[in-house]
Amino acid sequence: MAVKETIKKNIQRNLNRAYIRKLLGILARKPVLFAYGSTFSSQSDKYLNIFTIESLRDSYDEKGPVAFGSLFLPYEMFHALGVAPFLPEVMAGFTAGLGLADQTLKKASSSWYSQDLCTFHRSASGAVEMDLFPDPSFIVTTNLACDAAQKSFYHYAVTYGIEDKYHLLDVPYDNNPESVKYLSGQLEKLAKIISGETGSPVDRDRFARTLELSNEFRDWALKINDIRKELTRYPENFNGLNFILPFHSLIGTKKAVKLYQSIYMELESFLKAQRAAENSGNSSPKKILWMHLKPYYKNEIFDIIDKGNCRVVFEEINNVYWPRLDPEKPFESLARKMLSHPLTGRASNRTSALGKMIRDYNIDGGILFTHWGCRQSNGSARIIKDYFRERGIPVLVLDGDCVDRTNSSEGQIKTRLQGFIEILNPR
Amino acid sequence: MNRDIDLKDFFPLPPEKDRGKDKIGWFCTYTPEELIMAGGYSPVRLMGEKALRTAESYFPINFCPYLKSGWQSLMDSAGSLSGAVFTNSCDGMRRLFDIAEHYLKGLPVFMLDVPRRTDRESIDFFSLKLEEMLAFIEGLRGSTISPPEIADSAALCDRKRQALAHLSDLFFKGGRDLDISQYYRIMELAATADAADLISGILSLNSCLKQAAGEKSARGPRIMVIGNFITEEKLWDLLSEMDLELVCDDLCISNRYYEKQVGTAAKTNRKDLLSAIALRYLTKPACMRMADTGAKIEDFKQKIRDRGVQGVVFISLKFCDTVLYSFPLIRKELAALKIPVLYLEIEYNNFSEGQVKTRLQAFLEMI
């Protein structure tokens, strides 16, 4: 813990791009990286941190083309084109974890980003204004799930002087053959533009290999999700809401496969131990489905849940929602993947997906974290609440902020969580 | 309020219940009214109830006030509507559609998917979506809509848009026969009134205004208003009273509604007509939801140059993400042109008149 705290404090004191690059360069050196990895209590945490550092190092090195991308893009395409992905929204989560969000949010406010906007995007925008991120060669965004990235990322493009390298993948509302055609056409066009800029032609074999790796990742992720249908005892500090970066931007790489394979192995061993303990008569906790994201700064939420004989057994964001990709039809496959996301189109796409999770994980209660300014998710809160209630499952709509700790009431969250836990565990 | 002109003389509109035609509600300027009219229905923009009763409980507190108000309107008027058309224009609108579909079971609703891009593929894709919308309306009326019906209604909408454009030209460039409140009152009427009645009223009004036409005399700084769905009468009254010249705007209820024609001449088959309508709607003055923020900012700059704008009043309804995310860049770009910008965020039903007045006065003094 001391190492991590030291790193955190050093970044806080030296908050500039050169220092971040230097630090990542040091941390990503093999002996240092594995020594750092060994400070984590679980294999899944260890590989998560190692691969995250390597991925960030690749972006900050700027040895090859870097593309800023919003969440929910098909990052397989970036890897197949040899472009290092960099996700400002995920970085905003890191600003919260590293205690930097007060600075980035302040910068965003002074740059006229309204305080009513999502803090993931505000914090990322502040970081861009502070020049904390690597220089992008391209900026790719999508309207999948929400409107925010397509607007804020254009501003980034102007800031970096690359407006002509800003690209929006416009994801249609419905998932049908017309939409697949429209979106796959955009993907193919974008691949040609990027390959034209980087000077390496679109390599169909490389695309096929990347999509095969994506499928391999998908298989491991499904196996993990399968284990979790029974698992309630997890490695220390395991939190399924921490895997956004590999789940999105590493997909299509060997690293993502290795990470998810290691998570599977670790969780499988915990499941065996759990089964042995259950034979000795230990009671199992109430199973909670977590919807949306969580606060990425230090907080007590999950300790309170665990201490209340409850356990988050699945998170909406870990749902493997997309069908297997066809390596022979990369653009069509990736379009199908984007269109099958439950956050596209109607709220009923989301509730249908949640319904399957409720059944698969035998859910006792749901928590919808309503992150400040997330219109697309919070706008469905009433429908989600009613969906749970109609099925007789208690649900808690927990207001808060994933990035800005000053915009969350710790006391109120605690009180509401405790009340919810009492409902799940009546005396 | 300009007492010399009484809008009732030009727009003696019958009460809604007397209009005769069945109504279809709509919300966003990307909704092609011509398709609703082609089906024999009267398109009525749901302007939103200022007083919310139950609508608040369906949405989070920090949610677009127009959409909440629109939901209240929809709940209140559902019995008098034959259907409602929504657009996939923003996250908020998507959620409004979900709420309507989920909780207003008896009302036929349709979601029109509107692309954010304007390339050939997007126009073709939007044409397919218009075909779906037409099928929805045909389903409501129980019979096919013929190409001449589409062409006639598009032509009528074009005439309405031309009349509004002419009126705007006279208003922004002409004398002060019409004040700001009256101008925006007409713009609101345009989205709810019968098209033929409205055209006739505007033509009469335009002929009166023409007589006093000529570039506005300097009454104060030349101001442009940019915003989203702004229908706050108190704001227009305030602007009417202040020493300023409103010389152009970019708003959902104004140029984004009336600029650009469909032009259906020589188009006789359904596919060509829908393609022309798709082109008009995707290339009309854009909402900030569209992908090309750069082009939008260029439009602003062009207007600022053409109309000699000295200051911009940027007004947004609270929690409108596409506008709020666009503002920092717009402000930066206008600052580079040395154009001062006053940023106002307003509620839909809780306008803080005193505060806005003070800020407007200070802004105008600064210019």
Going by C-alpha positions, the residue among B258, B252, B254 that lies closest to residue B180 is B254
CA–CA separation, B339 vs B333, rounded Å? Answer: 9
Query: How far off is chain A from B21, nearest CA to CA, in Å?
Result: 31
The size of the A-B interface in CB pairs under 8 A is 131
In single-letter form, the type of residue at position A114 comes to S
Residues in chain A whose beta carbon is closer than 8 A to a beta carbon of chain B?
Answer: 111-114, 116-118, 121, 125, 143, 146-148, 150-152, 154-155, 158, 163, 168, 170, 172-174, 178, 182, 185-186, 345-348, 370, 372-373, 375-376, 378-383, 386
What residues of chain B lie within 8 A of the CB of A116, using their CB? 62, 318-319, 324, 345
Mutate to test the interface with B, among A154, A189, A331 (most CBs of B within 10 A): A154
pLDDT category at B246 given cuts 50, 70, 90 is very high
Q: 3-class DSSP state for residue A348?
A: helix
Q: How far is CA B187 from CA B36, B47, B184, B263, B344, in A?
A: 19, 12, 5, 22, 21
Query: Is A112's CB within 8 Å of B327's CB?
Result: yes
Going by C-alpha positions, the residue among B237, B233, B169 that lies closest to residue B206 is B169
Query: Is A125's CB within 8 Å of B328's CB?
Result: yes
For residue B292, the chain A residue with the least C-alpha distance is A154
- Report the first-to-last Cα separation within chain A, whole angstroms: 38
DSSP string over A104-126 = HHHHHHHTT--TTS-HHHHHHHH
For residue A375, give the nearest of B91, B97, B128 by CB distance.
B91
Tell me, what DSSP letter sits at residue B59? Answer: S
Going by C-alpha positions, the residue among A49, A68, A74, A35 that lies closest to residue A255 is A49
For residue A170, the chain B residue with the least C-alpha distance is B116
pLDDT in tens, chain A (427 residues): 578 889 999 999 999 999 999 999 999 998 999 898 888 888 889 999 999 999 999 999 989 999 999 999 999 999 999 999 999 999 999 999 999 999 999 999 999 999 999 999 999 999 999 999 999 999 999 999 999 999 999 999 999 999 999 999 999 999 999 999 999 999 999 999 999 999 999 999 999 999 999 999 999 999 999 999 999 999 988 999 999 999 999 999 999 999 999 999 999 999 999 999 877 666 789 999 999 999 999 999 999 999 999 999 999 999 999 999 999 999 999 999 999 999 999 999 999 999 999 999 999 999 999 999 999 999 999 999 999 999 999 999 999 999 999 999 999 999 999 999 999 998 6
Going by C-alpha positions, the residue among B134, B159, B161, B164 that lies closest to residue B38 is B134
Residue burial A292-315, b: 16+ Cβ < 10 Å; e: rest: bbbbbbebebbebbeebebbbbbb
Q: 3-class DSSP state for residue B248?
A: strand
For residue A118, the chain B residue with the least C-alpha distance is B321
pLDDT, tens digit (0-9, with 9 covering 90-100), for A118-142: 999 999 999 999 999 999 999 999 9
Query: Is B62's CB within 8 Å of A147's CB?
Result: no
Mutate to test the interface with A, among B91, B111, B131 (most CBs of A within 10 A): B91
DSSP string over A44-100 = HHHHHHHHHHHHHHHHHH-SS-EEEE-TTS-THHHHHTT-EEE-HHHHHHHHHHTT-
The two structure tokens encoding residue A161: 């002087």
Count of H helices and E strands in chain B? 14, 8
Query: Is B291's CB within 8 Å of A178's CB?
Result: no
CATH code of domain B15-141: 3.40.50.11890
CA–CA separation, B36 vs B38, rounded Å? Answer: 5
Q: Does B122 touch chain A (CB under 8 A)?
A: yes
Q: 3-class DSSP state for residue A287?
A: strand
- Half-sphere CA count of A355, side-chain side, radius 13 A: 12
CA–CA separation, A407 vs A401, rounded Å? Answer: 6
Query: Is A113's CB within 8 Å of B94's CB?
Result: no
In single-letter form, the type of residue at position A407 comes to N
For residue A140, the chain B residue with the least C-alpha distance is B291
Query: Is A112's CB within 8 Å of B331's CB?
Result: yes
Q: How far is CA A286 from CA A240, A365, A407, in A?
A: 17, 8, 29
The two structure tokens encoding residue A138: 């391209």
CA–CA separation, B14 vs B299, rounded Å? Answer: 38
For residue A380, give the nearest of B62, B98, B324 by CB distance.
B98
CB atoms within 10 A of CB A23: 18
Q: Does B291 touch chain A (CB under 8 A)?
A: yes
Mutate to test the interface with A, among B94, B111, B312 (most CBs of A within 10 A): B94
pLDDT value at position B214?
A: 57
Query: Is B95's CB within 8 Å of A375's CB?
Result: yes
CA–CA separation, B21 vs B28, rounded Å? Answer: 21
Confirm if A347 and A383 have CB atoms less than 8 A apart. Answer: yes
Helices B91-103 and A381-390: crossing angle in degrees, nearest 10, is: 30
pLDDT value at position A144?
A: 97
Q: What is the ipTM of this complex?
A: 0.96
Domain ranges of chain B: 15-141
In single-letter form, the type of residue at position A195 comes to S
pLDDT, tens digit (0-9, with 9 covering 90-100), for B13-46: 765 555 668 999 999 999 999 999 999 999 999 9
Query: Is B98's CB within 8 Å of A383's CB?
Result: yes
pLDDT value at position A417?
A: 97
- Pairing relationship of beta strands B245-250 and B222-227 according to DSSP bridges: parallel
CA–CA separation, B31 vs B23, rounded Å? Answer: 14
Going by C-alpha positions, the residue among A346, A290, A339, A352 that lies closest to residue A316 is A290
The two structure tokens encoding residue A339: 């269109």
Q: Which residue has the tokens 């269109």?
A: A339
- Range of lowest pLDDT (B60-69, B173-182, B341-350): B173-182
The two structure tokens encoding residue B251: 């708003």
Confirm if A85 and A194 have CB atoms less than 8 A apart. Answer: no
pLDDT value at position A211?
A: 98
Q: Report the DSSP beta bridge partners of residue B313.
A: B225, B342
Q: Does B343 touch chain A (CB under 8 A)?
A: yes
**Longest alpha-carbon distance in chain A:** 67
Confirm if B329 and B359 have CB atoms less than 8 A apart. Answer: no
pLDDT, tens digit (0-9, with 9 covering 90-100), for B261-316: 999 777 789 999 999 999 999 999 999 999 999 999 999 999 999 999 999 999 99
Query: Is B113's CB within 8 Å of A378's CB?
Result: no
Tell me, what DSSP letter sits at residue B113? Answer: -
Output the CA angle B206-B211-B216, nearest 5 degrees.
90
pTM of structure? 0.96
CA–CA separation, B231 vs B269, rounded Å? Answer: 38
Confirm if B93 and B48 have CB atoms less than 8 A apart. Answer: no
CA–CA separation, B43 vs B27, rounded Å? Answer: 10
What residues of chain A lie within 8 A of the CB of B117, using their CB? 168, 170, 186
CB atoms within 10 A of CB A347: 25
pLDDT, tens digit (0-9, with 9 covering 90-100), for A236-247: 889 999 999 999
Query: Is B121's CB within 8 Å of A182's CB?
Result: yes
Query: How far off is chain A from B10, nearest CA to CA, in Å?
Result: 41
Query: How far off is chain B from A13, nearest CA to CA, in Å?
Result: 28
Query: How far off is chain A from B86, nearest CA to CA, in Å?
Result: 12
Query: Is A172's CB within 8 Å of B113's CB?
Result: yes
What residues of chain B lie within 8 A of the CB of A150, using their CB? 116, 291
Q: 3-class DSSP state for residue A254?
A: helix
